[in-house]
């Protein structure tokens, strides 16, 4: 169950407490699973669910969820957010530091090129 929850959290990519996020806003980002159904019911009945901390934390102090930063930067169109989130999942990015170089000030070159299917 922990692995399923970690995958759910990773696919959503905006919070360590995915059941407290808006289903109406982010539900289209998630693959249909039983956890998505639970999330829908939690929101429908206005229930607060808090999951135990998972070993999915930011690798650097001050790091932020990539999708939160994208939305703060002005990506407000829901379809653009969904597409960006899908791309983020494909590139295996969860936090902003995942796309930066070791110094944390420049974009890593590998995110500027298309990934080959054998590199996924």
Indicate the SS3 state at residue 65: strand
pLDDT at 48: 93
Q: Which of 8, 10, 39, 35 is nearest to 22 (CA)?
A: 39
pLDDT at 120: 52
| CB hemisphere CA count around 23 (13 angstroms) | 16
pLDDT at 46: 93
Instruction: Say if CB 28 and CB 82 are below 8 A apart.
Output: yes
Say how far apart CA 76 and CA 86 lie, in whole Å. Answer: 16
pLDDT at 115: 65
Say how far apart CA 92 and CA 106 lie, in whole Å. Answer: 18
First and final C-alpha spacing in the chain: 25
Query: Which contiguous run of DSSP H or E holds residue 42?
Result: helix 34-44
Mark the ranges of the chain whose per-residue pLDDT is less than 50. none
Q: What are the boundaries of each domain within the chain?
A: 1-56, 57-120
């Amino acid at each position: 169950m922990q692995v399923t929850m970690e995958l759910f959290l990773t696919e959503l990519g905006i919070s360590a407490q995915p059941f407290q996020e808006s289903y109406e806003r982010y539900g289209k980002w998630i693959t249909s699973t039983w956890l998505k159904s639970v999330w829908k019911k939690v929101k429908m009945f206005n229930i607060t669910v808090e999951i135990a901390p998972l070993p999915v934390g930011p690798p650097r102090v001050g790091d932020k969820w990539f999708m939160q930063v994208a939305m703060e930067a002005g990506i407000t169109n829901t379809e653009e957010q969904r597409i960006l989130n899908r791309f983020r999942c494909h590139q295996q990015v969860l936090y902003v530091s995942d796309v930066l170089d070791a110094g944390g000030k420049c974009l890593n070159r590998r995110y500027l090129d298309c990934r080959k299917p054998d590199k996924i």
